[in-house]
Amino acid sequence: MRVPRVYLDLPLSEGTRIELDDNAFNHCIKVLRLAEGAPLTLFNGDGLEYPAELCDVAKKRAAAQIGTPQDPGRESPLTIEVGQAISRGERMDYAIQKSSELGITRIHPLFTERCEVRLNNERQEKRQRHWQQVAISACEQSQRCRVPAIEEPSALTDWIGRVDAELKLVMHHHTAQPLASIEPPKSVALLIGPEGGLTEEEVEQAIAAGFQPVAFGPRVMRTETAPVAAAAILQYLWGDLG
């Protein structure tokens, strides 16, 4: 049986006993029905895995005894930040989930001119928490030990003006620039448009901010497919999928 991997947003250290939070308790005890003494793998996003053993199991609480941590070396040497135009419901969830599995470092949800989603402050905070949990779950499944940060949603113009990466790319199907001609970078910022695509003005603004237009093949991909395909290609070329 595969040892369950559990994320805890808490400091973890060898030889200590730590109380499981509500999410971890529900998953381990109520869903998986683990018994006292069951092995766990804990992680908190610091890049390490912490083997642990379930202990002190009660009706509404449980704890874990932590063993010696290790670095499994599953993080890519390539840093990828994605500026993702916000899409509706499951489409945005899919983009975040699969991008997290493919090793991206950070996701910036963006409001663009053709973005159909509008969020007030309360809904924005709720969606950001939900998206962060999607990324956490993807890391639990894919055995990553660092969790991509899901940033506060912002305007496209704000993000392209402040993002810092060695190579900045904007998905734009009207270009044929081959990626193989680009010097291998250590960090990439990738801009993905909404379902209706970025406007020509937005593409021009991105180019003025240092982004290079690039197409990943001859076909036009959906907004939730684009970051997944792009991340896979970038990881193959310059990361750890090659």
What is the location of CATH 2.40.240.20 in the chain?
A: 5-66
Per-residue confidence (pLDDT) for residue 121, from 0 to 100: 75
pLDDT at 127 over 70: yes
Q: How high is the pLDDT of residue 176?
A: 60
The structure tokens 């113009």 sit at 157
Domain 5-66 bears CATH identifier 1.10.1660.10:
no
Measure the CA–CA gap between 56 and 65, rounded to whole angstroms. 9
Strands, E assignment, 86-141: 106-111
Whole-number pLDDT of residue 174? 65
CATH number of 79-238: 3.40.1280.10
Share of the chain above pLDDT 70, in %: 97
Give the pLDDT confidence of 194-218 residue by residue, as tens digits: 988 999 999 999 999 999 998 888 8
User: Residue 181 pLDDT more than 90?
Assistant: no
Residues of the chain with CATH 3.40.1280.10: 79-238
3-state secondary structure of 169: strand
Inform me whether the pLDDT recorded for 1 exceeds 80: no
DSSP letter at 49 equals B
CB-count exposure of residue 7 (10 Å: 0-12, 13-18, 19+): buried
- Percentage, residues of the chain above pLDDT 90: 79
Smallest CA-to-CA distance from 109 within 93, 237, 101, 98 is with: 93
> In the prediction, which pLDDT does 175 show?
65
For 230-240, write each residue's pLDDT tens digit: 999 999 999 99
Q: Summarize the confidence of residues 65-73 as an average pLDDT.
A: 96
Q: State the pLDDT at residue 172.
A: 80
pLDDT one-digit tens code per residue, 30-65: 899 999 999 999 999 999 999 999 999 998 899 999
